[in-house]
């Protein structure tokens, strides 16, 4: 493959992608033309007469780049560790102390320089990040994404509640937190990167006073900025909001002006039908974080139910509540979790009473959530390789298992089976190239 130095290129490949929750689209041997980062045409190779810059090999497939809707950037150093406590204890024991250390800008930069390229190598072309309460570290995160060419939404975390936060990692007041959040929006916009946007980030209701939540709803409105927060994540968090606000988490966020179009609600495991209808009505969306939910959620997110209710659903790693940096791993686990929800898990119940029939999702729906679903939540023209969208894409090697077929030729595999392999098995080692906005990014993982 040739490297392209700017964001205009043509690439010959077989494309696999999911335009809808239940449709696998396979376009064999097409040429995708990209001008200024925008997909201008997709033409069968036999009908294409222009210059081709990049040709994928027979054992490679072109897929849309992955959209991770939920990452706690300063938790990168504890990825894969410390998941031995419930959420409300884990935050105080491990997470707030780690995040507090991002007052040190050198430390923060070291972490960002490790994390951003690693996530790109795992196929995450768009990342929605929580920073910390520190403006310099948060701005540096946005600058690091711009420098490495990752599409990103970066939020300065706001948290001022005297009981929901430790006194050593807390905003001094609601007014201070709103002012610092406004300054962070300005600083990120001042970077002037077309790839990186700010996002208003009240951590979650237990960590924020009503005054802060109201102020941030107003700030998002006044500055036309997206919002992210956590919603009905666990039994404890869900009940805490009912006890404090006298309504569900979803309703409370709406009352604070935070349930806006494209608001990213992390987790949202414990939603009523009314909550789902309200999220759909407001055109907010959910970041489904299946690996994290296994540790903190106390239940399985009912993805099928949310989709049937018309809610936009994407996928998130929830680094480091989820122990993998890979959205492929999360997509695979979303399938597994939905199967356990469908069947149920308690052998003391009769099979017919054990699960929630109709809950299972397959590789197509899981990949849709990791791509087009995330794009729908954010309302950005990404997540699918079609004319008019930005060219964010991955070249992925199809796995073969020494079954006598040449690597990737997979003579016995149908398109559907090849796609399933991609969703369930792809690791960074199988991702040969990453493009964001038509630019091929370095470093590319070496095999
Ligand atoms: N709720 C509030 N903060 C956090 C966090 O850092 N991780 C997760 N998973 N949930 C949260
Ligand atoms: Fe989270």
Instruction: Report whether 148 contacts 126 (CB < 8 A).
Output: no
Q: Output the CA torsion sign for 225, 199, 279, 160.
A: negative
Q: How many CB atoms lie within 10 A of CB 447?
A: 8
Tokens, residue 432 = 């040969």
- Give the mutation target among 81, 97, 204 for probing the ligand 1 site: most ligand atoms within 8 A of CB: 204
Q: How far apart are CA 29 and CA 43, in angstroms?
A: 9
**Could you tell me the distance, in angstroms and rounded to a whole number, from the CA of residue 446 to the centre of ligand 2?**
31
**Could you tell me the distance, in angstroms and rounded to a whole number, from the CA of residue 154 to the centre of ligand 1?**
16
Residues in contact with ligand 1 (CB, 6 Å cut-off): 72, 87, 91, 95, 203-204, 230, 233, 292, 296, 318, 321
pLDDT by residue (tens digit) across 199-246? 999 999 999 999 999 999 999 999 999 999 999 999 999 999 999 999
Tokens, residue 224 = 């036309």
CA dihedral defined by 303, 220, 319, 120, rounded to 10 degrees? Answer: 100
Note residues around ion ligand 2 (Cβ under 5 angstroms).
Answer: 266, 318
Instruction: Render the burial of 400-412: b for 16+ CB within 10 Å, e for the rest.
Output: beeeeeeebebee
**Could you tell me the distance, in angstroms and rounded to a whole number, from the CA of residue 248 to the centre of ligand 2?**
18
- Whether residue 362 is predicted with pLDDT greater than 70 in this model: the reply is yes
The ligand 1 atom nearest the CA atom of 99: 6
Structure confidence at residue 366 as a pLDDT band (50, 70, 90): very high
The ligand 1 atom nearest the CA atom of 292: 9
pLDDT by residue (tens digit) across 87-127? 999 999 999 999 999 999 999 999 999 999 999 999 999 99
Domains delineated in the chain: 9-64+383-440 (2.30.40.10), 66-378 (3.20.20.140)
Structure confidence at residue 5 as a pLDDT band (50, 70, 90): low
**Could you tell me the distance, in angstroms and rounded to a whole number, from the CA of residue 5 to the centre of ligand 2?**
36
**Could you tell me the distance, in angstroms and rounded to a whole number, from the CA of residue 301 to the centre of ligand 1?**
16
What does the pLDDT average to over 425-438? 97
Q: Whose CA is nearest to atom 3 of ligand 1?
A: 203
**Could you tell me the distance, in angstroms and rounded to a whole number, from the CA of residue 88 to the centre of ligand 1?**
9
Q: Which pLDDT score, from 0 to 100, does residue 413 have?
A: 80
Closest ligand to the CA of 233: 1
pLDDT by residue (tens digit) across 306-361? 999 999 999 999 999 999 999 999 999 999 999 999 999 999 999 999 999 999 99
What does the pLDDT average to over 1-24? 86
Closest ligand to the CA of 70: 2
Q: How far apart are CA 136 and CA 142, in angstroms?
A: 10
* Nearest one of 8, 15, 7 to 31, comparing CA atoms: 15
pLDDT by residue (tens digit) across 131-163? 999 999 999 999 999 999 999 999 999 999 999
* Nearest one of 235, 296, 227, 297 to 262, comparing CA atoms: 227
Q: How far apart are CA 312 and CA 233, in angstroms?
A: 17
Q: Whose CA is nearest to atom 8 of ligand 1?
A: 321
Q: Strand 312-315 and strand 60-64: pairing?
A: unpaired
Instruction: Render the burial of 113-148: b for 16+ CB within 10 Å, e for the rest.
Output: eebbbbbbbbbbbbbbbbbbbbbbbbbbbbbbbbeb
pLDDT by residue (tens digit) across 180-197? 999 999 999 999 999 999
Tokens, residue 409 = 């030729």
Q: Please provide the DSSP assignment of 362-394 as one string.
A: -HHHHHHIIIIIHHHHHT-S-SS--TTSB--EE
The ligand 1 atom nearest the CA atom of 296: 9
Structure confidence at residue 405 as a pLDDT band (50, 70, 90): low
Residues contacting residue 51 through CB under 8 Å, at least 6 positions apart? 10
Q: Which pLDDT score, from 0 to 100, does residue 285 have?
A: 98
Closest ligand to the CA of 87: 1
Structure confidence at residue 437 as a pLDDT band (50, 70, 90): very high
**Could you tell me the distance, in angstroms and rounded to a whole number, from the CA of residue 300 to the centre of ligand 2?**
16
**Angle at alpha carbon of residue 374, lines to 282 and 276, rounded to 5°:** 35
- Provide the CA 230 distance to its chain's centre, in angstroms: 13
Q: Output the CA torsion sign for 346, 347, 348, 349.
A: positive
pLDDT by residue (tens digit) across 46-98? 999 999 999 999 999 999 999 999 999 999 999 999 999 999 999 999 999 99
Half-sphere CA count of 186, side-chain side, radius 13 A = 8
Q: How far apart are CA 354 and CA 413, in angstroms?
A: 34
User: pLDDT averaged over the chain?
Assistant: 95
Q: How far apart are CA 128 and CA 120, in angstroms?
A: 13
Q: How far apart are CA 265 and CA 278, in angstroms?
A: 12
- 215 backbone dihedrals φ, ψ, rounded to 5°: -65, -35
């Amino acid at each position: 493959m040739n490297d392209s130095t700017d964001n205009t290129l043509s690439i010959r490949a077989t494309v696999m992608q999911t335009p809808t929750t239940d449709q696998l689209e396979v376009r064999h041997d097409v040429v995708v033309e990209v001008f200024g980062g925008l997909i201008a045409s997709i033409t069968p190779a036999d009908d294409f007469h222009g210059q081709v810059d990049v040709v994928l090999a027979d054992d490679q497939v072109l897929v849309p780049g992955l959209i991770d809707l939920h990452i706690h950037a300063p938790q990168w150093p504890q990825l894969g560790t410390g998941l031995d406590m419930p959420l409300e204890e884990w935050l105080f024991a491990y997470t707030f102390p780690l995040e507090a250390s991002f007052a040190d800008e050198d430390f923060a930069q070291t972490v960002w320089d490790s994390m951003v390229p690693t996530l790109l190598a795992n196929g995450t072309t768009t990342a929605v990040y929580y920073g910390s309460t520190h403006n310099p570290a948060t701005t540096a995160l946005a600058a690091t994404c711009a420098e490495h060419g990752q599409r990103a939404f970066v939020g300065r975390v706001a948290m001022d509640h005297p009981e929901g936060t430790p006194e050593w990692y807390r905003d001094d007041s609601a007014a201070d937190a709103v002012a610092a959040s406004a300054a962070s929006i300005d600083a990120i916009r001042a970077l002037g990167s077309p790839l990186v946007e700010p996002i208003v980030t009240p951590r979650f209701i237990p960590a924020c006073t009503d005054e802060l939540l109201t102020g941030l709803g107003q700030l998002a409105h006044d500055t036309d900025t997206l919002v992210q927060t956590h919603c009905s994540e666990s039994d404890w968090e869900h009940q805490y909001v009912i006890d404090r606000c006298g309504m569900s988490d979803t309703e409370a966020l709406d009352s604070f002006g935070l349930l806006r179009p494209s608001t990213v609600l992390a987790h949202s495991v414990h939603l009523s039908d009314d909550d789902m209808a309200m999220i759909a009505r407001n055109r907010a969306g959910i970041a489904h974080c299946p690996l994290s939910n296994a540790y903190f959620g106390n239940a399985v997110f009912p993805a099928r139910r949310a989709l049937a209710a018309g809610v936009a659903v994407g996928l998130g790693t929830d680094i480091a509540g989820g122990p993998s940096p890979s959205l492929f791993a999360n997509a695979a686990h979303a399938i597994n979790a939905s199967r356990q929800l469908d069947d149920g898990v308690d052998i003391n119940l009769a099979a017919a009473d054990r699960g929630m029939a109709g809950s299972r999702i397959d590789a197509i729906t899981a990949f849709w959530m990791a791509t087009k679903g995330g794009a729908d939540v954010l309302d950005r023209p990404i997540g699918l390789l079609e004319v008019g969208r930005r060219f964010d894409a991955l070249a992925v090697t199809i796995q073969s298992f020494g079954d006598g077929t040449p690597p990737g030729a997979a003579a016995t595999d149908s398109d559907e089976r090849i796609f399933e392999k991609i969703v369930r098995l792809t690791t960074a080692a199988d991702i040969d190239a990453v493009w964001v906005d038509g630019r091929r990014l370095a470093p590319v993982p070496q095999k």
